[in-house]
Amino acid sequence: MEVWDDEQWLQNFRMRKTTFMGLCEELAPTLRRKDTRLRAALPVEKRVAIAIWKLATPDSYRSVANQFGVGKSTVGIVLMQVCKAINRILLRRTMTLGNVQEIVDGFAQMGFPNCGGAIDGTHIPILAPPHLGSEYVNWKGYFSMVLQALVDHHGRFTDINTGWSVKVHDARIFRNTCLFRKMQAGTFFPEWKITVGEVEMPFMILGDPAYPLMLWLMKPYTGSLDSSKERFNYRLSWCRMTVECAFGRLKGRWRSLYGKLDLAENSIPAVISVCCALHNICEGKGESFTQAWTSEVQHLEAEFAQPESRAITGAQRRAARIRDALREQFEAETQQ
């Protein structure tokens, strides 16, 4: 580790040495341990390195233990210690809206006005939990846990919720999140409203057909589509690509998320949350994402295909009016 260049650091830890050492510095007060008469404590840097290596690779606990010259059980203990420290110290700090105006401008440039994010869910493969296997096997035939996330225009996570069984529909998961409650109360985003045609439009997030159409949640048209509805769907889909790309980069960096997480059921959400926080840190620091990682993800996506959620067809009347007003505006813009 002393002689590696940035490229070697990137391949093995998904971040450059400066980013890694900065992470160690932030976590040191929580992770530092005192030596005992029986043994010397693992340095903070080694603890963080063991955890990051385990998250960044599909390596087994035994393989990681051999790599770092520690016991197999030590890898599992250190992994959870580091994950708990990151979740306690860095999760809220890294998972924020940041500059809301920049997010709005970013989505506006992609074609959607007054938009604060795109939401979607993804399945994370896991080993079958004892006694609860049927709750976590999806209709594609593998065991998984759902991660639901909201991302900004750069594909950084601004809100996440994980730990749900695959038997629960995306819309129900969403209705049971803090994000949903805050959006309903109007406290997650500033109260910025615009007028589209003659209809008032509040701050919005974008979802796929599995989500309900609401005043603040826009989704595509389904069923029979004319050219204007197809154009509307294309714009919305283009903006929603940010969340799909974010999931791809998340899994490309943190290969353990495709390694069938071998953890206790109640520990898995903590590890998924940490991977999301580390994703934001790497994106914020401008860490490179290589084409080879993209190829790996595409290969694994074929092996662990994402189950599709059933579409929800009902709609709030006022929300439908907003969607129609946007469709008409997008249609008018193409005529200019």
- Predicted confidence (pLDDT) at residue 131 exceeds the cutoff of 80: no
pLDDT tens profile 162-182? 988 878 888 889 999 999 999
pLDDT tens profile 36-67? 777 778 999 999 999 999 999 989 999 999 99
> Burial of 274 by CB count in 10 Å (0-12 exposed, 13-18 middle, 19+ buried)?
buried
pLDDT tens profile 179-208? 999 999 999 998 889 999 889 999 999 999
> Average pLDDT, stretch 261-271?
90
Q: Between these two residues, 298 and 321, which has the higher pLDDT value?
A: 321
Q: What is the pLDDT of residue 133?
A: 67
Q: Between these two residues, 117 and 316, which has the higher pLDDT value?
A: 117
pLDDT tens profile 282-312? 999 999 999 889 888 888 888 888 888 777 7
Where are the chain's structural domains?
Answer: 6-89, 98-335
CA–chain centroid gap for 218, Å, is 20
Secondary-structure breakdown of the chain: helix, strand, coil percentages, each rounded to the nearest 5: 50, 15, 35
Q: What is the pLDDT of residue 270?
A: 96
Q: What is the pLDDT of residue 314?
A: 66
Lookup: tokens for 168: 């629960």
